[in-house]
Amino acid sequence: MAEYIEKSEIYRRYFNNGCGVVRLHVSDIDVIPAADVAPVVHGRWIDNGIPGSMLSGCSECGFTCGAYSFKYCPNCGAKMDKEEV
């Protein structure tokens, strides 16, 4: 699985330490293309409380659907892996 880092954190740690050799290698980071990533939002399906209803709501955006078959909310994209509290 790929891991993503903030370029600014690399610059902060290595450019500010005064090491010229590291500085040359860290400058290579500028030519690496940035990945198009988004933070993962975690949620869970919440039962709507209506007896016999097959509908559930997303804990993050409130979207209601026949949800238990979805691993992600079709509305906001939240990953449905949070445990019930």
The count of domains in the chain is 2
Domain of residue 7, residue span:
1-35
73 found inside a domain: yes
How would you classify the pairing of strands 42-43 and 79-80?
parallel
Question: Is residue 12 one of the residues assigned to a domain?
Answer: yes
pTM of the shown model? 0.59
Decide which of 38 and 2 is more confident.
38
Asked if residue 4 is part of any domain, the answer here is yes
Q: Is residue 85 part of a domain?
A: no
For 45-57, the pLDDT digits (tens) are: 998 888 888 899 9
Q: Note whether residue 26 is domain-resident.
A: yes
In the three-class reduction of DSSP (H, G, I as helix; E, B as strand; rest coil), residue 24 is classed as helix
**Are both 49 and 28 inside the same structural domain?**
no
- pLDDT tens for 18-72 read 655 555 566 677 777 878 888 889 999 998 888 888 899 999 999 998 867 789 9
First to last CA, the chain: 29
Instruction: Measure the CA–CA gap between 61 and 57, rounded to whole angstroms.
Output: 8
pLDDT of residue 28: 75
Sign of CA dihedral 77, 41, 3, 10: positive
